[in-house]
Amino acid sequence: MRERHGADEASAEPLVSVASLSRTFGSKKALDDVTLAVSRGCVFGLVGENGAGKSTLIKHLLGLWRAERGEVRVFGLDPVLEPTTVLGRIGYLSEQPDLPGWMRVDELLRYTRAFYPRWDTAYATQLLEQFGLDLDARVKTLSKGQRARLGLIAAEAHRPDLLILDEPSSGLDPIVRRDILEAIIRTITDEGRTVIFSSHLLDEVERVSDHVAMLHQGTLKLCAPLDDIKAQHRRIVLRFTVPHADPPNVPGAIRVEGAGREWTVICDGSRIHVPAMAQSLGASIVDDCAASLDEIFVAHAAVN
């Protein structure tokens, strides 16, 4: 039976809850009234363009930033007031792992291990062998990909209840990205463990996430199970008999783009009856399919 910690497991509360969180940097709103919840055992993808507020949100979850307005709870606790308890159950890997260059690989793992009573040495050794890291190598001599892998071992080897990956695959080659995705899959195969995964590589998020939140300029545009989001959004290609200079006015459309006779519409499929809509516009339907996460993201980002 898994060890039990804190108040969160005794209740049905979400593992992470963020309520009306706002943060400003000078005149810029980095987060604006963000509310979301992450339930236990899910892979929560956090997507958004650069500067959308993903890292800011993650830093609030880690307690590195204090909520200016609103509330953050992780395992039912405030990460600012209870950093030891909260951080002891989190594994964290950022885009730039920020590992001290003077440390050797074994020193880094020994240092990290001291903070986590649940450190799994056999698992760490297995990952080390899998990634081909030399225990005596200094961190500063490792390539970017090797550093990411080392950071991943340090974040994962204590089998955290919550694994937070902040754009971990940014700038990395496909092989390292594959390792990171496998780590996510490994983590969720351990019953009850949760992953929060931020990225702007939407194909990755689409592959592993089962819940997606989309941030745009600090505002939460979408937060729902991935399947619901994909089922909700349709990509429809319309062909008109006469060319249009301006985008046609499609009721319920989130984004319309194209030129001349052929226009592509991203819309909320649950609210639109597509054949009726096409008929009312005097257009024929060339294609009607589920929109990809990439198209959904671009459509919502373009609304503003």
Partner 1 sequence: MRSPTHALLWEIWQRNRSVSAVIVALTIVGRLLEPSSLVVMLWMVSFLLLFGIFTHPISPRLFTLPVSSLRLVAVPLLTGIASIEVLNVMWFGRLVTGPTSTWFVAVLLGALMVFYQTALWMLERTGPLKFVFVGVMAVIVFAIGLVPSFPPTPPPWWRSEAAVAALVAGLTAMVFLVASRHVGRVRCGGGSTAPRLEPLFAFAAARLPRTRKAFASPAAAHFWFEWRCSGLVLPVLVAGVLLAVIAPQSWLARDAGGTSFQLLLGALATPIVLAIPVGMAFARPAFWSEDLSLPAFVAVRPMTNEDIVAAKIKVAAASVAISWLLVLSFLAVWLLGWANLDGVGRFAIQVWAFHGQSAAAVYGIAVLVVVGGMFLTWRFLVSRLCGGLSGSRVLFNVSVMSVVIAAIAWMVFDGTRLAGWILDDPARMTALAWILAIAVTAKYWLAAYSWRRVPARYVRQFLLVWGAWTACLLAVAILFWGVVRIYVALDVHRFQAVMILMALLALPAGRVGLAASCLERNRHR
Contact stretch for partner 1 (CB under 8 A) within 31-39, 109-117, 183-191, 223-231 = 109-117
Q: Which is nearer to partner 1, 114 or 276 (CB)?
A: 114
The Cα 270–Cα 246 span in angstroms is 26
Q: Which is nearer to partner 1, 9 or 106 (CB)?
A: 106
Residue 136 CB, shortest distance to partner 1, in Å, is 10
Number of residues that bind partner 1 (CB under 8 A): 28
Residue 165 CB, shortest distance to partner 1, in Å, is 13
Q: Which is nearer to partner 1, 113 or 186 (CB)?
A: 113
The Cα 213–Cα 199 span in angstroms is 11
The Cα 254–Cα 242 span in angstroms is 23
Sites for partner 1 among residues 7-66 (CB under 8 A): 62-66
Long-range CB contacts for residues 183-191, cutoff 8 Å, separation at least 24: 183/152, 183/156, 184/43, 184/208, 186/156, 187/156, 187/160, 187/163, 188/41, 188/42, 188/43, 190/159, 191/2, 191/41
Residue 78 CB, shortest distance to partner 1, in Å, is 10
The reply on whether position 242 binds partner 1 by CB under 8 A is no
Q: Which is nearer to partner 1, 166 or 206 (CB)?
A: 166
Residue 140 CB, shortest distance to partner 1, in Å, is 9
The CA-CA-CA angle for residues 163, 169, 172, to 5°, reads: 145
- DSSP designation for 89: T
Contacts of 196 (CB under 8 A, 6+ apart): 16, 38, 44, 46, 58, 61, 162, 163, 164, 165
The Cα 55–Cα 260 span in angstroms is 40
Residue 230: phi and psi, rounded to 5, are -70, -35
Per-residue string for binding with partner 1, 62-101, x by CB under 8 A? xxxxx-------------x--xxxxxx-x-x-x--xxxx-
Helix axes 121-131, 105-113, angle to 10 degrees: 150
Per-residue string for binding with partner 1, 116-145, x by CB under 8 A? x-----------------------------
Q: Which is nearer to partner 1, 30 or 212 (CB)?
A: 30
The reply on whether position 114 binds partner 1 by CB under 8 A is yes
Partner residues linked to 140 by β-bridges: none
Q: Which is nearer to partner 1, 14 or 91 (CB)?
A: 91
Q: Which is nearer to partner 1, 44 or 92 (CB)?
A: 92
Tokens 């970017």 belong to: 144
Kindly state the helix (H) or strand (E) to which residue 155 belongs, with its residue range. Answer: helix 144-156
Q: Which is nearer to partner 1, 59 or 193 (CB)?
A: 59
Q: Which of 111, 171, 273, 279 binds partner 1 (CB under 8 A)?
A: 111
Q: Which structure tokens are listed for 83?
A: 């950093």
Interface residues toward partner 1, by CB under 8 A: 62-66, 80, 83-88, 90, 92, 94, 97-100, 102-103, 106, 110-111, 113-116
